[in-house]
Amino acid sequence: MRALVVDDSRAIRRIIGNILKEISCDVVEAGNGLEALAQLETHGCPDLILVDWNMPEMNGLEFVKAARQDPRYKQVPMMMVTTETEMERMAQAFIAGVNEYLMKPFDKSQLLEKLTLLGVETGV
Protein backbone atom coordinates (compact mmCIF):
# COMPACT_ATOMS: atom_id res chain seq x y z
CA MET A 1 0.00 0.00 0.00
CA ARG A 2 1.19 3.53 -0.78
CA ALA A 3 -0.06 6.75 0.78
CA LEU A 4 0.40 10.39 -0.15
CA VAL A 5 0.66 12.65 2.92
CA VAL A 6 0.09 16.32 2.14
CA ASP A 7 0.87 18.82 4.90
CA ASP A 8 3.01 21.94 5.07
CA SER A 9 4.13 20.87 8.54
CA ARG A 10 7.12 18.57 8.55
CA ALA A 11 6.15 17.60 12.10
CA ILE A 12 2.75 16.33 11.03
CA ARG A 13 4.13 14.57 7.96
CA ARG A 14 6.61 12.80 10.25
CA ILE A 15 3.98 11.73 12.78
CA ILE A 16 1.51 10.49 10.17
CA GLY A 17 4.28 8.92 8.11
CA ASN A 18 5.63 6.94 11.04
CA ILE A 19 2.19 5.59 11.92
CA LEU A 20 1.59 4.59 8.29
CA LYS A 21 4.98 2.88 8.10
CA GLU A 22 4.07 0.85 11.18
CA ILE A 23 1.19 -0.66 9.19
CA SER A 24 3.53 -1.40 6.26
CA CYS A 25 2.48 1.52 4.15
CA ASP A 26 4.93 3.30 1.85
CA VAL A 27 4.70 7.06 2.19
CA VAL A 28 5.15 9.84 -0.34
CA GLU A 29 5.08 13.41 0.99
CA ALA A 30 4.06 16.81 -0.32
CA GLY A 31 4.17 20.22 1.36
CA ASN A 32 1.13 21.75 -0.35
CA GLY A 33 -1.58 21.03 -2.90
CA LEU A 34 0.51 21.92 -5.93
CA GLU A 35 3.33 19.64 -4.82
CA ALA A 36 0.75 16.92 -4.20
CA LEU A 37 -0.62 17.20 -7.74
CA ALA A 38 2.95 16.97 -9.04
CA GLN A 39 3.53 13.86 -6.88
CA LEU A 40 0.42 12.28 -8.37
CA GLU A 41 1.77 12.89 -11.86
CA THR A 42 5.18 11.50 -10.94
CA HIS A 43 4.20 8.48 -8.86
CA GLY A 44 0.70 7.72 -10.15
CA CYS A 45 -2.38 7.21 -8.05
CA PRO A 46 -1.68 6.12 -4.45
CA ASP A 47 -3.95 3.86 -2.41
CA LEU A 48 -4.69 6.62 0.06
CA ILE A 49 -4.34 10.40 0.40
CA LEU A 50 -4.21 12.31 3.70
CA VAL A 51 -4.35 16.06 3.25
CA ASP A 52 -4.18 19.11 5.49
CA TRP A 53 -6.44 22.11 4.83
CA ASN A 54 -4.38 25.23 5.52
CA MET A 55 -1.29 25.21 3.35
CA PRO A 56 0.51 27.78 1.21
CA GLU A 57 0.40 27.80 -2.61
CA MET A 58 -2.64 25.51 -2.89
CA ASN A 59 -4.71 24.57 0.14
CA GLY A 60 -6.15 21.15 0.86
CA LEU A 61 -9.68 21.93 -0.23
CA GLU A 62 -8.45 23.22 -3.59
CA PHE A 63 -6.29 20.12 -3.96
CA VAL A 64 -9.20 17.77 -3.25
CA LYS A 65 -11.39 19.55 -5.79
CA ALA A 66 -8.63 19.48 -8.41
CA ALA A 67 -7.82 15.82 -7.81
CA ARG A 68 -11.45 14.72 -7.86
CA GLN A 69 -11.95 16.41 -11.23
CA ASP A 70 -9.36 14.08 -12.70
CA PRO A 71 -10.85 10.67 -13.54
CA ARG A 72 -7.62 8.97 -12.42
CA TYR A 73 -8.14 10.13 -8.83
CA LYS A 74 -11.90 9.96 -8.51
CA GLN A 75 -11.91 6.79 -6.43
CA VAL A 76 -8.80 7.09 -4.24
CA PRO A 77 -9.77 7.30 -0.55
CA MET A 78 -9.01 10.77 0.81
CA MET A 79 -8.95 11.99 4.39
CA MET A 80 -8.72 15.62 5.49
CA VAL A 81 -6.48 15.99 8.59
CA THR A 82 -6.85 19.53 9.85
CA THR A 83 -7.26 22.03 12.67
CA GLU A 84 -10.49 23.22 11.01
CA THR A 85 -13.07 22.19 13.60
CA GLU A 86 -16.22 23.95 12.39
CA MET A 87 -19.05 21.80 11.01
CA GLU A 88 -19.36 24.06 7.95
CA ARG A 89 -15.74 23.35 7.07
CA MET A 90 -16.26 19.64 7.48
CA ALA A 91 -19.28 19.79 5.19
CA GLN A 92 -17.26 21.71 2.60
CA ALA A 93 -14.58 19.04 2.65
CA PHE A 94 -17.04 16.18 2.19
CA ILE A 95 -18.79 18.03 -0.64
CA ALA A 96 -15.40 18.54 -2.29
CA GLY A 97 -14.79 14.80 -2.16
CA VAL A 98 -13.02 13.64 0.99
CA ASN A 99 -14.14 10.33 2.49
CA GLU A 100 -13.07 10.95 6.08
CA TYR A 101 -12.20 13.91 8.28
CA LEU A 102 -9.83 13.93 11.25
CA MET A 103 -9.32 16.96 13.47
CA LYS A 104 -5.95 17.93 14.92
CA PRO A 105 -4.85 17.17 17.53
CA PHE A 106 -5.24 13.44 17.11
CA ASP A 107 -3.56 10.41 18.60
CA LYS A 108 -2.43 7.22 16.93
CA SER A 109 -5.58 5.26 17.77
CA GLN A 110 -7.81 7.96 16.29
CA LEU A 111 -5.83 7.98 13.06
CA LEU A 112 -5.88 4.18 12.82
CA GLU A 113 -9.62 4.15 13.45
CA LYS A 114 -10.20 6.56 10.57
CA LEU A 115 -7.90 4.55 8.31
CA THR A 116 -9.91 1.44 9.14
CA LEU A 117 -13.06 3.26 8.08
CA LEU A 118 -11.36 3.93 4.75
CA GLY A 119 -10.79 0.21 4.32
CA VAL A 120 -7.11 0.20 5.26
CA GLU A 121 -5.93 -2.95 7.04
CA THR A 122 -4.52 -1.51 10.28
CA GLY A 123 -4.77 -4.45 12.64
CA VAL A 124 -7.23 -2.48 14.81
Partner 1 sequence: MVTNEDVMQITEHVLGTMLELGSYADSADNLLTDRLEAFTGCVHISGEWQGAVVVQGTPELGRLIAQRFLQLAPGEVSEVDVMDSAAELTNMIGGNIKGLVPGPSSLSIPSVTIGSDFNFRLPGTRESAHVVANCEGQPLRITLCESTK
Residues that bind partner 1 (CB under 8 A): 8-12, 14-15, 18, 54-56, 82-86, 88, 104-107
Amino acid (1-letter code) at residue 64? V
23/45 with CB nearer partner 1: 23
Residue 113, classed as helix, strand or coil, is: helix
The secondary element (H helix, E strand) that includes residue 109 is: helix 108-117
For residues 59 and 36, is the Cβ–Cβ distance under 8 A?
Answer: no
61/78 with CB nearer partner 1: 61
2/89 with CB nearer partner 1: 89
CB of 107 to partner 1, least distance (A): 5
Separation between Cα atoms, residue 42 and residue 105, nearest integer Å: 31
CB of 71 to partner 1, least distance (A): 31
CB of 11 to partner 1, least distance (A): 4
For residues 73 and 44, is the Cβ–Cβ distance under 8 A?
Answer: no
For residues 123 and 93, is the Cβ–Cβ distance under 8 A?
Answer: no
Provide the CB-side half-sphere exposure for 14 (13 A, CA). Answer: 3
CB of 70 to partner 1, least distance (A): 26
90/118 with CB nearer partner 1: 90
